[in-house]
Amino acid sequence: MTKKNWGTLSDYRIKKIYDILAGQIIPKSDLEFDTAFELLVAVVLSAQATDVSVNAACEKLYPVANTPQAIYDLGIDGLKPYIKTIGLYNAKAKNVIALCRQLLEKHNGMVPDNRADLEALPGVGRKTASVVLNVAFGQPTIAVDTHVHRVANRLNIASTSNTDHTEQVLLQRTPKKHLLHAHHYLLLHGRYCCTARNPHCANCPIYKQCVSTDKT
């Protein structure tokens, strides 16, 4: 990745933004889970769905089945009733069951802690793998969803048209001390403050640092 995808925001301003967000935001997932496996399933289910809907479904599912073997034993038809309120639940049920089977057959029922094995699981793409690596295993990855992509470009940290390029820019431009939690800082800021429509600029903690406002 060359600097052509970098935005014009200075390194000083980027550091200042992260420092401010670090003082305002608790870097914690909105998904509810107790184990790496529960997180993995929740993130797979969250594609094109809200965390609220996923949490509601998992609240019913996990007391019944919260291990690869237990969910695999439910089968596709047995899993569907628990997740039918989530978008694309038919495809997701197939992926989760296939994912559980692969975990049992290739990983002794354990969630792998490396990208290659995670991305080889059914229904797991780069973003999902990054979330699991970061949240479950404490690795300094930056999962880029629509919120992170929007915020990075709106702040002009990046000047990119796709999430893969945004991820590469953020990994290069984020100060090392903030890499571990950068995903949550940008995600939660985008979800609750720097929203796609009608961003809450009047209440934004980094308003003075945002080049979109041209205030500094």
Give the CA angle between residues 94, 122, 137 to the nearest 5°: 125
Against a cut of 0.85, is the pTM above it? Answer: yes
Contact present, 187 and 148 (Cβ < 8 Å): yes
For residues 210 and 204, the answer to whether their CB atoms sit within 8 Å is yes
Give the Cα-Cα-Cα angle 68, 74, 79 (nearest 5 degrees): 95
Q: What is the pLDDT of residue 216?
A: 40
**Active site (annotated) includes residue 215:** no
Q: Is 145 a catalytic residue?
A: yes
What average pLDDT does this structure show over 154-163? 95
Q: Tens digit of pLDDT for each residue in 105-128?
A: 999 999 999 999 999 999 999 999
Write down the pLDDT at residue 210. 86
pLDDT at 4: 82
Q: In what helix (H) or strand (E) does residue 79 lie, and over which residues does it extend?
A: helix 68-83
Catalytic residue, from 15, 19, 77, 127: name it.
Answer: 127
Set 145, 164, 176, 215: catalytic member: 145
- Asked if pLDDT for residue 214 goes beyond 70, the answer is no
Tell me the Ramachandran region of residue 198: left when phi exceeds 0, alpha when psi lies from -120 to 50, beta otherwise.
left
Indicate the class that CATH gives domain 36-135: mainly alpha
pLDDT for 2 beyond 90: no
Rounded Cα distance between 173 and 156, Å, is 11
| CB distance 157 to 1 below 8 Å | no
Contact 99, 67 (CB under 8 A): no
Q: Tell me, what's the pLDDT at 1?
A: 55
Please tell me what DSSP assigns to residue 27.
-
Residues in the chain, total? 216
pLDDT in tens, 37-86: 999 999 999 999 999 999 999 999 999 999 999 999 999 999 999 999 99
pLDDT of residue 213: 56
**Would you kindly state where each structural domain of the chain is located, as residue ranges?**
3-28+141-209, 36-135
Angle between helices 36-45 and 68-83 (to 10 degrees): 30
φ, ψ of residue 72 in degrees (nearest 5): -60, -40
Please give the helix or strand (H or E) that residue 185 lies within, else none: helix 182-192
CATH of domain 3-28+141-209: 1.10.1670.10
SS3 145: coil
